[in-house]
């Protein structure tokens, strides 16, 4: 009864075509930046600096700090991004879909008394993550802890990303069950045996390098049948 469930979001609890999501995401940023009279090529140069700074974060500062520090030469970039997320980020919703079994799984595990963690790659601000949680038919209150760029100092697939959550919640990796859909992002470094149990969710499976990972592969429907009360 001491198990904690870690869930990835994009492609796991939230159905998603990742390639289409990224295409619409960057296209909508470009259109929004252009509408403000900015040179999108310059803006994307700084955006790339910010993303790389988060991906290369060694843990001294939060990802938010690293992003702001890397892009500080572009005046007002954080305000522009916040406005984008509030006004245009919803355009990416069309590339996602609600999987009915996500809510069934979350509700079942909550009713059984398990703690739930949303372990999503913390490259987004909290409120942009909450949008995607709601698109999945869930609530931020479903989770004991949600990673975002404000509270995280590493990114996937680094082992330190997961260890940081364990430390903050004072739990052991042997007491965690993890579910993700991306072979490289979710399991590329930690492997399939880092936690007590791991599942590869196949509804929106991502396996770009065609790795043969020794891990239980399962759909959300099949997982729900396994754990329902």
DSSP 160-209: HHHHHHHHHHT--GGGEEEEESBHHHHHTTT-SSSSSEEEEE-TT-B-TT
Last residue of a domain, one of 56, 77, 92: 92
The reply to whether 88 and 98 lie within a common domain is no
The reply to whether 101 and 49 lie within a common domain is no
The reply to whether 207 and 128 lie within a common domain is yes
The reply to whether 190 and 109 lie within a common domain is yes
The reply to whether 81 and 146 lie within a common domain is no
The reply to whether 190 and 219 lie within a common domain is yes
The reply to whether 112 and 210 lie within a common domain is yes
Predicted structure pTM score:
0.95
Last residue of a domain, one of 54, 74, 92: 92
- The kind and range of the H/E element at 218 are strand 216-218
Angle between helices 77-87 and 126-135 (to 10 degrees): 10
Last residue of a domain, one of 43, 77, 92: 92
Supply angle C-alpha 47, 84, 119, rounded to 5.
Answer: 70
- What are the pLDDT tens digits along the chain (229 aa)? 579 999 999 999 999 999 999 999 999 999 999 999 999 999 999 999 999 999 999 999 999 999 999 999 999 999 999 999 999 999 999 999 999 999 999 999 999 999 999 999 999 999 999 999 999 999 999 999 999 999 999 999 999 999 999 999 999 999 999 999 999 999 999 999 999 999 999 999 999 999 988 999 999 999 999 998 6
The reply to whether 14 and 63 lie within a common domain is no
Domain limits for position 216? 4-19+94-227
Q: How many domains does one find in the chain?
A: 2
- Residue 120: what pLDDT? 98
The reply to whether 220 and 109 lie within a common domain is yes
- Residue 228: what pLDDT? 86
Identify whether the C-beta of residue 157 lies closer than 8 Å to the C-beta of residue 186: yes
Token digits of residue 9: 């979001």
- Residue 229: what pLDDT? 67
Task: Measure Cα distances from 116 to 179, 181, 192, 198 in Å.
Answer: 11, 17, 19, 14
Q: How far apart are CA 173 and CA 163, in angstroms?
A: 8
DSSP 34-96: HHTT--HHHHHHHHHHHHHHHHT--SSS-HHHHHHHHHTTSTTHHHHHHHHHHHTGGGGGGGE
């Amino acid at each position: 009864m001491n198990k904690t469930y870690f869930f990835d979001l994009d492609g796991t609890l939230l159905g998603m075509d990742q390639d289409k999501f990224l295409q619409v995401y960057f296209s909508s940023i470009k259109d929004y930046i252009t509408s403000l009279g900015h040179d999108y090529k310059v803006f994307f140069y700084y955006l790339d600096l910010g993303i790389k700074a988060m991906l290369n974060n060694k843990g001294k500062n939060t990802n938010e700090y690293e992003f702001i520090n890397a892009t500080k030469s572009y005046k007002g970039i954080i305000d522009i991004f916040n406005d984008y997320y509030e006004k245009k980020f919803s355009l990416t919703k069309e590339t996602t879909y609600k999987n009915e079994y996500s809510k069934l799984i979350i509700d079942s595990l909550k009713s059984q008394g398990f703690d739930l963690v949303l372990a999503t790659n913390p490259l987004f601000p909290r409120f942009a993550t909450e949008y995607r949680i709601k698109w999945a038919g869930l609530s931020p209150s479903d989770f004991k802890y949600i990673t975002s760029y404000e509270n995280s100092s590493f990114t996937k697939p680094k082992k330190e990303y997961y260890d940081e959550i364990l430390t903050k919640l004072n739990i052991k990796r042997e007491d965690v069950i993890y579910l993700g859909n991306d072979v490289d992002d979710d399991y590329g470094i930690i492997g399939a045996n880092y936690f007590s149990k791991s599942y590869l969710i196949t509804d929106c499976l991502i396996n770009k390098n065609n790795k043969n990972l020794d891990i239980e592969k399962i759909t959300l429907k099949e997982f729900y049948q396994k754990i329902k009360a």
